[in-house]
Amino acid sequence: MTRGEISNALGRVILITLALMAASYVLLIGVLVLTGFDDALLHYTIATVFTLILAPAAAFPLVIMSDRIRLAKVELEALLRIDGLTELPNRRAFFEKAGEVFAEDGPISLMMIDVDHFKAVNDNYGHDTGDRVLRSVAQSIQQVVAGATGTGVKFAARIGGEEFAVLVEDLDATLADRLANELVLKIGQLPVRGAAHSIAVTVSVGVAHRRHGDSPDMVLRAADGACYRAKRLGRNQWRDADIFDDEPMPQAPAKAMTAA
């Protein structure tokens, strides 16, 4: 037991001790009523002393163990929502957050981000380099999303394999598309160092916007469809699910989405 644990448990141990002392007095009075009140003071003294000694001795380990179990449970719950490789939130955490945000009114956009030719990276350079690529992409996504304008929720997660997802709240479609463009530009500018190579990394991004009655899964499927179009049209670009023109997307100025 550490000093901090003892300090945190002290208040509850005192309450437990007082409760046990009150219970022992009630029990003692019952015994005295049945057997007579001879040596009542001695009996009260024994009940008080034993309770004051035994109750804290038993309560402290139990309370501290309970605190440790509760803390371990909280830490385990947190780990279940974190991707171990990239340290981004995982798919479970993404949909939990999306469910919370979708319960509120206001504009919401979801993005599906897929690393281009990732299988070839693993095949040609090995899985260690592939892991390095995923960590680099995750870091870039986190930086761009965290720096986006606006005060709404901005949430990025790895939802499986080489796929990432982003949720942004309170951005209109134009600003959300600019953020998607910044993601493409940012990641494309940062080659990843392999064991003996510098690997150019690009992503394809699909964007979709919540309409009335849409669920997170519906919007993410639309974003996934837009991401597939971006890949089909050449990769290293973004597509909006609401824009069906298959001409190359104009590049919006990335600095427009950077917080001041």
CATH code of 107's domain: 3.30.70.270
pLDDT of the residue at 251? 47
Per-residue pLDDT band for 257 (boundaries 50, 70, 90) equals very low
Q: Are 74 and 145 in a shared domain? A: no
247 an active-site residue?
no
Measured CA to CA, the distance from residue 43 to residue 29 in angstroms comes to: 10
Residue 42 located in a structural domain? yes
Sign of the C-alpha dihedral computed for residues 227, 228, 229 and 234 taken in this order: positive
Q: Are 147 and 189 in a shared domain? A: yes
Residue 33 located in a structural domain? yes
pLDDT of the residue at 199? 86
Residue 110 located in a structural domain? yes
pLDDT of the residue at 19? 78
Q: Which amino acid is located at 41 in the chain?
A: L
DSSP string, 30-88: HHHHHH-STTHHHHHHHHHHHHHHHHHHHHHHHHHHHHHHHHHHHHHHHHTTB-TTT-S
Instruction: Provide the number of structural domains found in the chain.
Output: 2
Q: Are 10 and 118 in a shared domain? A: no
pLDDT of the residue at 77? 63
Q: Are 51 and 118 in a shared domain? A: no
Task: Determine the structural domain holding residue 52 and report its residue range.
Answer: 3-79
Measured CA to CA, the distance from residue 208 to residue 82 in angstroms comes to: 24
Q: Averaging pLDDT over each range in 2-11, 124-133, 203-212, which range is the top one?
A: 203-212
Among the residue ranges 89-93, 98-102, 246-250, the one predicted with the least confidence is 246-250
Measured CA to CA, the distance from residue 164 to residue 228 in angstroms comes to: 14
pLDDT of the residue at 173? 93
pLDDT of the residue at 253? 43
The stretch 144-162 carries a mean pLDDT of: 93
pLDDT > 70 in the chain, percent: 79
pLDDT > 90 in the chain, percent: 51
Last residue of a domain, one of 79, 104, 133: 79
Residue 84 located in a structural domain? no
| Mean pLDDT, the chain, integer | 83
Please tell me which residue in 96, 100, 162, 182 is annotated as part of the active site. 162
Among the residue ranges 17-21, 147-151, 176-180, the one predicted with the least confidence is 17-21
pLDDT, tens digit (0-9, with 9 covering 90-100), for 31-46: 666 666 666 666 667 6
Per-residue pLDDT band for 50 (boundaries 50, 70, 90) equals low
The stretch 43-67 carries a mean pLDDT of: 71
The stretch 39-66 carries a mean pLDDT of: 70
Give this prediction's pTM: 0.70
The stretch 189-194 carries a mean pLDDT of: 80
Tell me the residue length of the chain. Answer: 260
Residue 85 located in a structural domain? no
**Does residue 117 sit in helix, strand or coil?**
coil
Residue 195 located in a structural domain? yes
Residue 86 located in a structural domain? no
Q: Are 51 and 132 in a shared domain? A: no
Last residue of a domain, one of 48, 79, 110: 79
pLDDT of the residue at 119? 94
The stretch 251-260 carries a mean pLDDT of: 38
- pLDDT exceeds cutoff 80 at 135: yes
Per the CB < 8 A criterion, the answer to whether 3 and 60 are in contact is: no
Q: Are 223 and 149 in a shared domain? A: yes
pLDDT of the residue at 256? 37
Q: Are 46 and 144 in a shared domain? A: no
pLDDT of the residue at 151? 86
- pLDDT exceeds cutoff 60 at 227: yes
Measured CA to CA, the distance from residue 10 to residue 209 in angstroms comes to: 52
Q: Are 54 and 133 in a shared domain? A: no
